[in-house]
Amino acid sequence: MTQASPSAQGAIELEGKDLPAYCPNPAMPIWSSHPRVFLDLAHGHDGKCPYCGTTYRLKPGTVVQGH
């Protein structure tokens, strides 16, 4: 996962190369870690971590490719 950037709404914006999305992401400090969870952004294009509440969103125009 590349270093994701927070959007104006406070969500972490991801590109297709950042998928599969997971939290905590590599940019988060180690002291704030929790168990890794994978987030499904394919259907709603955004998701929220159940542990820390961080919101992840696909950048506009991002295409999600399935298997």
Q: What are the strands, taking DSSP E only, across the chain?
A: 5-6, 12-14, 21-23, 37-39, 46-48, 55-58
- Assess if residue 34 is contained within a domain: yes
Phi, psi of 50 (to 5 degrees): -70, -15
In a domain, 63, yes or no: no
pLDDT surpassing 80 at residue 49? yes
Q: Are 42 and 58 in contact (CB under 8 A)?
A: no
Whether the pLDDT of residue 67 is over 80: the answer is no
Please give the average per-residue pLDDT across 12-40, as a whole number: 90
On the question of pLDDT at 1 being above 80, the answer is no
Domain count of the fold of the chain: 1
**pLDDT range class, residue 66, cuts 50, 70, 90:** low
Residue 44 in domain: yes
Is residue 67 assigned to a domain? no
Q: How many CB atoms lie within 10 A of CB 23?
A: 23
Indicate the pTM of the whole model.
Answer: 0.75
